[in-house]
Amino acid sequence: MRWTPGGVSEDIEDRRGEGGGGGGRGFGGMRMGLGGTLVVLVLSLVFGRNFFADLGTSPEGSTAPSAAARPADPTEQREVQFVSFVLDDAQKTWERVLANEGGEYRKAKLVLFRDVTRSACGTAESATGPFYCPGDERVFIDLSFFDDLAQRFKAAGEFAQAYVLAHEIGHHVQKVIGVESQVRQLQGRNPGARNALSVKMELQADCFAGIWGHSTAQRNIIDQSDVAEGLRAAAAVGDDHIQKMSTGRVSPESFTHGSSEQRMAWFKRGLDSGRVSNCNTFAQQ
């Protein structure tokens, strides 16, 4: 990829120095009132176990200990600048794309964190990988995921990383244009179709990532070797590939993101066309 390291995007929210997102197992070191304290105290006495520690909380008037805050790693600075470039460029692209279709784009924020942090969708952990939370319109990523992408998933390269980020911004586009809320309503009315609808939404986000890739190709930011990196990344995070890596077998009925073949195909579809109308995964059987 052709890009020049520079500053940090104003849409980056850097939480890497927070020290584990405030402590506690996703409870943020919350305090408990007297009634809650008594209940947990009784349970601790009965079972001989410190449930205060398990909940990551403390009785009223005290605060659960949290992990010590760690300063940002200076070796990550180039990655932060790269993430900033992709974020800003993708969002500028979507401002233009939606404006051309009579719509309006609003920017997402991207949260950099280490290990664990809070989101409107619950606890964000590095183990879950990058994700988009529609509740607070933020993308969450622990930069260590890029090491996993290269080493565990064998999808190295900057455009492989960019594909991951552009996919999550694609989910934000779905929120902006109303697709996300429509899919959640359909899933609520038909729980049996939840996984199938999830796959369609994920594949559309892949296609949207391709639309940004189309824009970068037109501006000579990427070449064919970069496209190959992006396709490898799309294949690497296919449900079938991940299931085979994890369990040695593939269960298509449990897919939530789509197969490697599907993910590559829809990413390439957006990459080749650059058109939102070509990304209607919901019209496909």
Is residue 4, in this structure, part of any structural domain at all? no
Q: What is the pLDDT of residue 4?
A: 87
Is residue 106, in this structure, part of any structural domain at all? yes
SS (HEC) of 29-78: CCECCHHHHHHHHHHHHHHCCCHHHHHCCECCCCCCCCCCCCCCCHHHHH
| 43 and 125 belong to one structural domain | no
Domain end (from 65, 92, 115): 65
Q: What is the pLDDT of residue 59?
A: 42
Which of 69-73, 150-154, 232-236, 241-245 has the least mean pLDDT? 69-73
| 28 and 158 belong to one structural domain | no
Burial (CB < 10 A; 0-12, 13-18, 19+), residue 271, is buried
Does residue 19 carry a pLDDT above 50?
A: yes
Q: How many domains does the chain fold into? A: 2
Q: What is the pLDDT of residue 267?
A: 97
Higher pLDDT, 271 or 283: 271
| 128 and 266 belong to one structural domain | yes
| 30 and 169 belong to one structural domain | no
pLDDT band at 7 (very low <50, low <70, confident <90, very high): confident
Is residue 13, in this structure, part of any structural domain at all? no
| 167 and 278 belong to one structural domain | yes
Domain end (from 12, 45, 65): 65
- Encoding tokens for residue 110? 């991207």
Structural domain range at position 42: 24-65
State the pTM of this model.
0.80
The residue-averaged pLDDT of 231-246 equals 92
Percent of the chain with pLDDT over 90: 71
Give the integer Cα–Cα distance in Å for 171 and 202. Answer: 8
Nearest CA to 126 out of 155, 104, 147 is that of 147
pLDDT band at 81 (very low <50, low <70, confident <90, very high): very high
pLDDT per residue over 241-281, tens digit each?
A: 999 888 999 998 999 999 999 999 999 999 999 999 999 99
| 165 and 57 belong to one structural domain | no
Domain end (from 37, 65, 93): 65
| 150 and 276 belong to one structural domain | yes
Under 8 Å between Cβ of 108 and 172:
yes
Higher pLDDT, 18 or 159: 159
The residue-averaged pLDDT of 36-51 equals 44
| 59 and 167 belong to one structural domain | no
